[in-house]
Structure 1
Amino acid sequence: MQTLADLRKDYTRAELDEAHADADPLKLFERWLHEAVQAQVPEPNAMTLATVGEDGRPSTRVVLVKGFDARGIVWYTNYHSRKGRELAARPHAALQFHWVELERVVRIEGRVEPVSAEESDAYFASRPLASRLGAWASDQSQPIEGRGVLVRRAAEFGLKFGLNPPRPPHWGGYRLVPDAWEFWQGRPSRLHDRLAYRLQPGGVWMRQRLAP
């Protein structure tokens, strides 16, 4: 029987070198995300979000990126959830994308800020009705007696709001404003390619190769 210690894979799909890496990390991220979508990677927009509480204890969860541009990376959630409370206390976070099929990882770090109410309203209105009602029904991260609580609350809010539930005041978007990126491409013999970008004064990105 194969043990966990015996599980190994040699990475051979691609390489990442300075000659083919953009000076702007956002452009490289956009290209890699597009390639993940084109390759039909499952949930290419799924990312791990890491936050830290007031007690210094870290926590992670998977969320879905819903937009990105020069301002940063955007996702939406319940402000009263554990991640929301932790971001209120310590507004910095780390993100990680892992596209297993492409043997690629992207890590992003930076400060986090709420997106505007207008942005949150626009995205909320684009969601399926069931998801909009779910945002009202779920007191995210709070203990509940069973799934029936969620079903009952969703039905109650469905009767209350009909087809046009407004955005809950406790629900909206966050934007991580990057000051550090790392792009990892798996390579043979564990000699992986790692390119790190660090934001310098004046908005210039410094790029460095890191040892694997």
Structure 2
Amino acid sequence: MSIADLRENYDKNILLEKDISKNPFEQFGIWFEQARVEGGLEPNAMNVSTVDHNGYPHSRICLLKDFDEKGFVFFTNYDSDKGHQLAQNPNISLLFFWMVQQRQVRIQGRVEKLSEQESTEYFNSRPLGSRIGAWASKQSQVITREDLEQRYQDYEKQFGNDVPKPPHWGGYRVVPSSIEFWQGRPSRLHDRLKFTLEQDGSWNLDRLSP
């Protein structure tokens, strides 16, 4: 079978205007909880897209760590490629894809850094190995496996169980300007309902053609 012949029939759910919450964060929470309960690996995995100074897009999978009506939160190394790109251009796109439910959510917006207190509180909640790894990894820089493991061992000896948050590590909050909910439907007649933030702070809802 060729790649062109790979097809799935999307027929599990529907998404109509009368059924969707008027609050996009509430609707996201409903879908996220269904994805968490009904199965699928890491429902908080999301494709994070940024743009570099030459206009080239970059995408990678990160993990959502919190969300509320202020935005969507994730953590990373500020000295990574994505960190440098967001410092130059705070525009960002998130994509969640939940295959079990045949759904995706697209979020566009801008990032703002979390406070040091917020980042430190989350960092201290991470497993010990992850905290040491945040020091050992010069994220996005060229390194050998041997050097990486040596750096981990060095920081493990230096800190023991008392690992402080690195100054170059912390969180971002994605403040959305639009949130689109996509539900797969038969014959590729998918449901696409898009919330767009208006100047008065309200959300406008439109159906988009699939």
Q: Which TM-score band (shorter chain)?
A: over 0.9
Instruction: Quote the offset at 1:169 in angstroms.
Output: 0.2
Q: Which amino acid aligns with 1:49?
A: V
2:162 maps to 164
Q: Show CA shifts across 1:36-94 (max 9, x none).
A: 00012111000000000111111000000000011100000000000000000001100
Provide the rounded CA distance (Å) in 2 between the counterparts of 1:114 and 1:149: 30
Provide the rounded CA distance (Å) in 2 between the counterparts of 1:140 and 1:63: 13
CA RMSD of aligned residues (A): 0.6
Q: Which runs of 5+ in 1 are unaligned?
A: none
Provide the rounded CA distance (Å) in 2 between the counterparts of 1:164 and 1:104: 41
1:126 maps to 125
Q: Size of the alignment, in residue pairs?
A: 210
Does the residue aligned with 2:142 lie in a helix, a strand or coil?
coil
Provide the rounded CA distance (Å) in 2 between the counterparts of 1:126 and 1:150: 23
**Within-5 A mapping of 1:176-191:** 176-191=174-189
Q: Which amino acid aligns with 2:92?
A: A
Instruction: Quote the offset at 1:141 in angstroms.
Output: 0.1
1:87 is aligned to 2:86? yes
* Percentage of pairs with the same residue: 49
Does the residue aligned with 1:136 lie in a helix, a strand or coil?
helix
Provide the rounded CA distance (Å) in 2 between the counterparts of 1:165 and 1:60: 30
Q: Show CA shifts across 1:103-141 (max 9, x none).
A: 000000001010111110000000000000000000000
1:22 is aligned to 2:43? no
Q: Which amino acid aligns with 1:139?
A: K
Does the residue aligned with 1:177 lie in a helix, a strand or coil?
strand
Does the residue aligned with 2:18 lie in a helix, a strand or coil?
helix
Provide the rounded CA distance (Å) in 1 between the counterparts of 2:4 and 2:141: 38
Instruction: Quote the offset at 1:10 in angstroms.
Output: 1.1
Does the residue aligned with 1:5 lie in a helix, a strand or coil?
helix
Q: Which runs of 5+ in 2 are unaligned?
A: none
1:52 maps to 51
Provide the rounded CA distance (Å) in 2 between the counterparts of 1:164 and 1:65: 25
Provide the rounded CA distance (Å) in 2 between the counterparts of 1:77 and 1:86: 13
Does the residue aligned with 2:120 lie in a helix, a strand or coil?
helix
**Within-5 A mapping of 1:1-212:** 2-144=1-143, 146-212=144-210
Q: Show CA shifts across 1:154-205 (max 9, x none).
A: 1101111110110000000001000101000000010000000100011100
Does the residue aligned with 2:62 lie in a helix, a strand or coil?
strand
Instruction: Quote the offset at 1:14 in angstroms.
Output: 0.3
TM-score by length of 2: 0.99
Does the residue aligned with 2:124 lie in a helix, a strand or coil?
helix
